[in-house]
Amino acid sequence: MELEEIAKVLLRVAWIAGILPILVAFILSSSSRFHQLLSSFANRGKTFSLFTSNKFTVPQRFFLHFYVVAVVWTTLLLLITWLYAMDVELSTIANHLTDGESHIMSKRYIVWRTVFLLLLMEIQVWRRLYETVYVFKYSPTARMHIVGYFTGLFFYTAAPLSLCSMCAPEVVKFAFHCPAEFIVKGRYEVPFLKFDWSGFVNPVTKLGWFPWIGATIFIWGWIHQRRCHAILGSLREHKEHTNEYRIPHGDWFEIVSCPHYLAEIVIYGGLLIASGGSDLTIWLLFGFVVVNLVFAAAETQRWYLRKFENYPRTRGAILPFIY
């Protein structure tokens, strides 16, 4: 097995290793020790304060680190994959003239679809970075467990990587090969840098139905998450007021307690559909997002019901009319 294949398997194993304990904890009763251990790792802010010890915790505003990592890493992957796509585009044209090999055509499709997925991810992580700085008012005393912190860092490294897992080995080889070619041949002899600029965009617009249906779902979730985050950010007037909590109203808050988590599931569902659904790694990424956020929503729902006597009983935790 080649090194790149091993990396792909490891990525899948990591997602499964993240999904299984959360699933088990979810199935077990909330009073079981395993469930409580997982909760202490996953809880943050208002739900974390249920646990007294601040040992092995970091400030919740460290959420910012996730999005800095996500923006830098996604942008880097996007740029390299885009340049690689240009390179493939040129070799497709050259090969098409001679024999039009179908495997080159399918490789070309996969690479441009990956560019499309990374573009969507880029839109998501930039907005989250902005919101973390300007919309949410993290209280100075809000904490999260160090395990939750490292899980977040892992997530925003592994998620963009998973979106390009179908062509990651080729992209990595290209990333190493490209600077060497540039140094040896100079700027005007590297083929994809001579390409017409419209060639950077045109292939993305010709990907067929799945990417565009997925992108529409993604944008639907994206818009609602932005609205729900704005509502959450407006609930606390001053950062210093640690215990200032209110019942949120408006948008999807009228149907579930954690519409921002629901919107996140819609966003990653959109990415999955845009990917065509043929890559197991992206399914596992989606699986992790679902179990992680359903688990967090259940904790939040319990907190709301304990905190507010007048909390609307018809609101589900996260999945409208189901849970």
Tell me the closest approach of the beta carbon of residue 192 to ligand NAP, in angstroms. Answer: 33
Binding mask 33-52 toward ligand NAP (x if CB under 6 A, else -) reads -----------xxx------
Q: Which among 181-189, 190-198, 203-211, 256-264 is the span making contact with ligand NAP, rule CB under 6 A? A: 256-264
Q: Give the span between the Cα atoms of 263 and 277, in whole angstroms.
A: 19
Give the residues across from 57 on adjacent strands. Answer: 145
For residue 238, count other CB atoms closer than 10 A to its CB: 9
Among 73, 116, 136, 149, binds ligand NAP (CB under 6 A): 136
List 40, 57, 60, 124, residue binding ligand NAP (CB under 6 A)? 60
Q: Which is nearer to ligand NAP, 47 or 92 (CB)?
A: 47
Question: What six digits make up the tokens of 172?
Answer: 């990595």
Which of 38, 85, 121, 232 touches ligand NAP (CB under 6 A)? 232
What's the min distance (Å) between Cβ of 66 and ligand NAP?
Answer: 8
Work out which of 185, 235, 241, 254 binds ligand NAP, going by CB under 6 A.
Answer: 235
State which of residues 35, 108, 224, 236 lies at the interface with ligand NAP (CB under 6 A). Answer: 236
Nearer to ligand NAP, 62 or 174 (CB): 62
- In the numeric block, the tokens 């890559």 are attached to 279
Tokens of 252: 């999807």
b/e map of 34-70 (b: 16 or more CB within 10 Å)?
ebbebbbbbbbbbbbbeeeeeeebbbbbbbbebbebb
Q: Helix, strand or coil for residue 50?
A: coil
Q: Which residue has the tokens 């646990």?
A: 51
Q: Which is nearer to ligand NAP, 84 or 252 (CB)?
A: 252
Point out which span in 23-31, 136-144, 178-186, 190-198 binds ligand NAP (CB under 6 A): 136-144
Contacting ligand NAP within 83-112 (CB under 6 A): none
Please tell me the distance from the alpha carbon of residue 93 to that of residue 86, in angstroms, as a whole number: 11
- Do 268 and 285 meet the contact criterion of CB atoms below 8 Å apart? yes
- Residue position matching structure tokens 């043929």: 278
Give me the phi and psi of 133, to 5 degrees please.
-85, -45
Residues 267-296 that bind ligand NAP (CB under 6 A): 289, 292-293
Residue holding tokens 């190493």? 176
Q: Measured from the CB of residue 25, what is the shortest distance to ligand NAP in angstroms? A: 15
Q: How far apart are CA 111 and CA 285, in angstroms?
A: 19
Using CB under 6 A, which of 41, 67, 252, 261 touches ligand NAP?
Answer: 261
To the nearest whole angstrom, how small is the minimum distance from the Cβ of residue 183 to ligand NAP? 39
Helices 102-134/259-274 angle, 10° precision: 160
Binding site for ligand NAP (CB under 6 A): 44-46, 60, 63, 136, 138-139, 142, 155, 225, 232, 235-236, 245-246, 248, 260-261, 264, 289, 292-293
